[in-house]
Amino acid sequence: MAEAGVLETMPRTMTKETELKKELEKLVKTILVEEDYREEVTDEATRILSVLKELKFKKSSKVVDNTVIPEEFICPISKKIMNDPVVLATGQRPQRLGLGIEPCSRALIRICICGSDLAETYDRPFIQRLINEGQRTCPQTQQVISHTFLTPNHLLQEMISKWSKERGVELPKPVVDDDADRVYLKSLLEKMSSSLSDQKEAAKELRLLTKRTPSFRALFSDSTDAIPQLVNPLSPGRANTHPDLQEDLITTIFNLSIHENNKQLIAENPLVIPLLVESVGSGNIETRRNAAAALFSLSSLDSNKLVIGKSGALIPLIGLLEEGHPPAMKDAALAIFNLCLVLENRVRAVQEGAVRVILKKIMDCILVDELLATLAILTSQQEAVQEMGLLGAVPCLLDIIRESGSERSKENCAAILHKICLNDRTKWPAVMEEEKANATLSILAEHGTSRAKRKANGILKILTRAASITHTL
């Protein structure tokens, strides 16, 4: 073990760094091999790591606005702080970084696990450019690249983000290299016609890229072949044969649908909407949720609403809502709402049992705001209004108007209740009793939103006429 005070007395030279590394190597071996090593061993290792870190910073750290940038944040190729750190597959184990761990302890962990200091991590556009140019060895380790997929280093990215926010350092804008991205996209899509293992690897990479890189999503709108190649591995009627592959590809479609120019392109492909509809009803819950989210995103275009409605999407969407998986329910509910903005789809939704499922969820206090909005739209259908009355909607709606803190919910309840009162006189007594007991509608007519006031006053006029007729009789 190094003698006490050695860290203070050794000169700051290359010799010092070499000797410290040798000493650290001995200490680490002691920690790994001996079960009953002394506590002082780890203390000494930590102190040496601290000095090595200081020396390393002085040799190779960069400075931005008088702020020292940790070397581990710098791309070995661009020599700039990384925006999108990725790990290159060379057969070495990827670096493990822990947020909240002291720097010297992180360094010890990296040395023990990897024997290197982030040597394989690069900023995506720069390493991607080298790969596209045909380089097949790691620029740092010179090891042969086992495959060209780049794994996001999420922990390092979080560390860079946290570090920059704490110090007020503005990160440089991400480098966009469309030519390099096009080449990479082409290579990934070609793997969709290759072996199953290649398809799965490419699907995972496409899922990550389309999630994190808006410019990558845009590339799909430049090619009419991209979408057909993407969905090639998914056979209609058997989309869930390989659930993990299905999940990655359906999620990629959802990511792509966020880009406005992709919405029509995706919907025009004769395979995609049927595959999404099939995936809402089959597959793991993440697949089903993302398929519903994709249908919601695509249905923002009016022309797509009709296409999606005709494909039979409402049946599995209503089923997914009824099943009750919390995250999936919201995506299904939003998709149903969007689709029902078109009259033809409202008719379909009522025929497929949407009123019963939606009203049950509202009564269970689930997604009340969202589902009341859909229920209000469905009141354009006489059959839906009658069904609401039969299923006990009136007391539920009055309770929400009286007790809810949501103005939006109160407004939609008043609109629905107004429709029911116009179409079913048998519901008037219950509304009258509520008004006598709590003045629920009178309060809403005075304090609600402008639309809520109109609907509440409309109901009160109906009740007034009803009372007048009863008194005359």
60 falls in which pLDDT band (50, 70, 90)? very low
Q: Which two tokens stand for residue 177?
A: 């290299």
Look up the pTM and report it: 0.71
Alpha helices in 240-284 (DSSP H): 243-257, 262-268, 272-281
Q: Is the pLDDT of residue 232 over 90?
A: yes
Predicted pLDDT at 95: 41
pLDDT per residue over 110-119, tens digit each? 433 333 333 4
Q: What are φ and ψ of residue 67, in 5° steps?
A: -110, 125
CA trace torsion 239, 245, 248, 251 (10° rounding): 0
Give the mean pLDDT of the chain.
85
- Asked if pLDDT for residue 101 goes beyond 60, the answer is no
pLDDT of residue 57: 56
Nearest in space to 25 (alpha carbons), one of 58, 56, 48: 48
Domain 181-352 has CATH 1.25.10.10: yes
Model pLDDT for residues 235-250, shown as the tens digit of each residue: 888 998 999 999 999 9
For residue 111, what pLDDT is reported? 36
pLDDT at 467: 73
DSSP 121: E
User: Is residue 299's pLDDT more than 90?
Assistant: yes
Buried b (16+ CB within 10 A) or exposed e, 128-148: bbbbbeeeeebebeeeebeeb
Residue 223 clears pLDDT 90, i.e. is over it: no
pLDDT for the residue 59: 53
User: What residues does 74 pair with on adjacent strands?
Assistant: 81
Q: What is the structure's pLDDT at 303? A: 92
Predicted confidence band of residue 451 (pLDDT cuts 50, 70, 90): very high
**Quick count: other Cβ atoms within 10 Å of Cβ 263?**
20
| Fold entry, domain 63-168 | Herpes Virus-1 (3.30.40)
Judged against a pLDDT cut of 70, whether residue 315 lies above it is answered with yes
Stronger pLDDT, 61 or 123, i.e. the higher one: 123
Q: Are 280 and 316 in contact (CB under 8 A)?
A: yes
Digit-coded pLDDT (tens) for 369-415: 999 999 999 999 999 999 999 999 999 999 999 999 999 999 999 99
The predicted-structure confidence for 320-337, as pLDDT tens digits, reads as follows 999 989 989 999 999 999
